[in-house]
Amino acid sequence: MKPMQFTVNAHIAFDGDGTVNGMIASARVVAGSLLLTLTLPAGVAHEPLAGRYFLARCVEPTEWARSHDWTLSLRRPLFVAGWRPATVAAGAERWLLTSSQLEDVGVNWLAAQPVDMPINLVGPLGNGFALPSHTRQLAVVSEPARVAALLPLIHAMLDRGGRVVILLQAHNSIEPLLRDLLPLATEVHQEAPGADWRTRLQDALAWADVVATALPAGEMAGLLEAVRTARLRVERGLVHCLADARLVCGYGACLACLTPLANGRWTRACVHGPVFDLADLAVG
């Protein structure tokens, strides 16, 4: 359904071209990820949002720049890390968006913008995580820079009275700022890559009703092996993965996000993902 036309101020509004304009409330880097708090007009989305993303334009907010400055021509994906309705003012909402791609020049540009800087977005896009109604024990498998994209799922699980174990692959201990971001009611473990990580991973996979992952592509083969060890087979519906895909256009047009499937075909992660059942992915 098309959102209601609503203007909070000139920079927090739905645009006539289907995009939405918001303003930066804060930008900070935590554990290798950008956390961008934005004020957006109310009514951007109401459905579950974990794993869904916006595409942000990286350009000065002037008419001239929007029409002529293509220095950073591609929009950059920002995953939903949180959403608080009507917390700012009537007609406005606070959103927390995140990216783990700090080495990217566009994400760097976003990270350097000041408070109250207008940002133009498309979204939320894609298919995110869904928690089956039977789920009581959620295991989250990720790394510090990517775990914020799973925060909405973690909160949803805790809200329904379930248990959450978070397993992070990291060489160093978890930054206090990241620990503050993870709900106190969760059980958090951190392990460096190696035998201890594999043991922890197998334990989490054996314990969980549902597993949500946000891992680099290079870690997927190890995940698959651990699932086979812990559960003997890859059960459909058990492990849901946020694909490490390059999200560029968000509409299935550019093919930058092509993702191989277990049936030998390819799919476009931007529209058919970016969250996939591990049983559907070609890994290795």
Chain residues 233-252 in contact with ligand FES, contact rule CB under 6 A: 247-250, 252
Residue 268 lies near ligand FES (rule: CB under 6 A): yes
Instruction: Choose between 86 and 251: whose C-beta lies nearer to ligand FES.
Output: 251
Instruction: Choose between 256 and 262: whose C-beta lies nearer to ligand FES.
Output: 256
Instruction: Choose between 221 and 258: whose C-beta lies nearer to ligand FES.
Output: 258
Do 93 and 76 form a contact (C-beta atoms < 8 A)? no
SS3 of residue 170 by DSSP: coil
Smallest separation (angstroms) from ligand FES to the CB of 149: 17
Residue 254 lies near ligand FES (rule: CB under 6 A): yes
Q: How far is CA 193 from CA 83, 143, 172, 181, 272, in A?
A: 32, 11, 11, 23, 30
Smallest separation (angstroms) from ligand FES to the CB of 137: 33
Do 50 and 80 form a contact (C-beta atoms < 8 A)? yes
Residue 257 lies near ligand FES (rule: CB under 6 A): yes
Among 65, 177, 217, 253, binds ligand FES (CB under 6 A): 253
Burial category of 202 from C-beta neighbours within 10 Å (exposed 0-12, middle 13-18, buried 19 and up) = middle
Residue 256 lies near ligand FES (rule: CB under 6 A): yes
Do 245 and 274 form a contact (C-beta atoms < 8 A)? yes
Q: In the complex, which residues of this chain contact ligand FES (CB under 6 A)?
A: 247-250, 252-257, 268, 270
